[in-house]
Amino acid sequence: MSGNHLFQRLRKKWRFVAIALAGVAISFAIGTFLPGLPINENPANAVAQVQNVNKFLTINPLVNQVGENQTGFNLDRTIEQLLTILESKEKRLTFVPPEPFQGKTIFEASVNDSEKVIALTVDDGPWPETTEQMLDIFKQNDVKATFFWIGKSLENSPEIARRVVAEGHAIGNHTWHHWYDSMDAATVANEIDRTAKLIYETTGVKTTYFRPPGGVLNNGLAKYAKEQNYSVVMWSVTSADTDPRAQPEAFVENVLKGAKPGAIVLMHDGGGDRSRTVKALPEMIAGLKKEGYRFVTIPQLLEMQEQQG
Ligand SMILES: [Zn+2]
């Protein structure tokens, strides 16, 4: 394939990345064939750009791999391989509901009863300690969940947010301030858009899943989110983990009692002391597993409903 033809195929938004990566690839090649040759200014810029992209995509090891696997240097092939990698990474960082659910409010999914799937959702983080403790539990149990983030929380814990994404969980928007009262149009837009922007800047994630704070559907937020093609994701089972008097055992009981195929479970990792939720989580997961449930993210759950529909 000729270089020109290849570049016509590159989607515009990847073009700068591809050029930057090509710069790096060329400097690998130069380093291999002409050791000691000083690298000029442009590849150095390319490295900086790749590092910036790498913050989200962790592609450096893959770039090295591409470099190592080659016998002789082939720019077209290198760019092809890198684009494939980037496109699959981009897919992993993009959470868009299936078309029938865009602009809709969802409380649970209808899936075949034989499909014992359930979606755990975790609100109000990312949060120091508790989010990471929950991530550890999810990892030990091979569970993927969906985290609905508050902009203000995210601002305080960007590293934790990147860990959530790196470990394969799905992400949704939970506004900037977590306000319940009715808001004017400009405030509503700001609550959602500002959070979406920070999610993208912090993690590279684009999401059009939205959960309204407190489940309030009539203060303007849900209406705006639906106009922007978000899915408004409510829940069908609450752990009731915001009840200040309840014991962790009660959270477990609430979830096991309400579980059914296609259910969406509400719990919290942030917004306050969530150590009781952390304490309840392993038992919650074990109880559901014992009943034969497997755990899916909200995007996976809706895709299942769409395919069965
Ligand atoms: Zn909340």
Cα 267 to ligand 1 centroid, rounded to whole Å? 9
At a CB cut-off of 8 Å and minimum separation 6, what does 213 contact? Answer: 150, 174, 175, 178, 179, 180, 221
| Separation between Cα atoms, residue 129 and residue 237, nearest integer Å | 25
Cα 209 to ligand 1 centroid, rounded to whole Å? 14
Our answer to whether residue 243 is catalytic in this structure is: no
pLDDT at 79: 81
Cα 54 to ligand 1 centroid, rounded to whole Å? 31
Cα 270 to ligand 1 centroid, rounded to whole Å? 8
Cα 216 to ligand 1 centroid, rounded to whole Å? 10
Residue range 95-308 in CATH 3.20.20.370:
yes
pLDDT at 71: 58
Domain(s) of CATH 3.20.20.370: residues in the chain: 95-308
pLDDT at 2: 43
| Separation between Cα atoms, residue 309 and residue 306, nearest integer Å | 5
- Given the residues 169, 174, 178, 268, select the one marked as catalytic: 268
Cα 45 to ligand 1 centroid, rounded to whole Å? 42
Number of Cβ within 10 Å of residue 16's Cβ equals: 13
Per-residue pLDDT of the chain (309 residues; tens, 9 = 90+): 444 455 555 555 566 666 677 766 665 555 444 433 333 345 555 555 555 555 555 555 565 566 555 556 677 777 888 888 888 888 889 999 999 999 999 999 999 988 899 999 999 999 999 999 999 999 999 999 999 999 999 999 999 999 999 999 999 999 999 999 999 999 999 999 999 999 999 999 999 999 999 999 999 999 999 999 999 999 999 999 999 999 999 999 999 999 999 999 999 999 999 999 999 999 999 999 999 999 999 999 999 999 987
- Given the residues 113, 123, 178, 269, select the one marked as catalytic: 123
Cα 177 to ligand 1 centroid, rounded to whole Å? 10
pLDDT at 11: 56
Cα 174 to ligand 1 centroid, rounded to whole Å? 7
Cα 294 to ligand 1 centroid, rounded to whole Å? 25
| Separation between Cα atoms, residue 196 and residue 65, nearest integer Å | 33
Cα 38 to ligand 1 centroid, rounded to whole Å? 54
Cα 175 to ligand 1 centroid, rounded to whole Å? 9
Our answer to whether residue 268 is catalytic in this structure is: yes
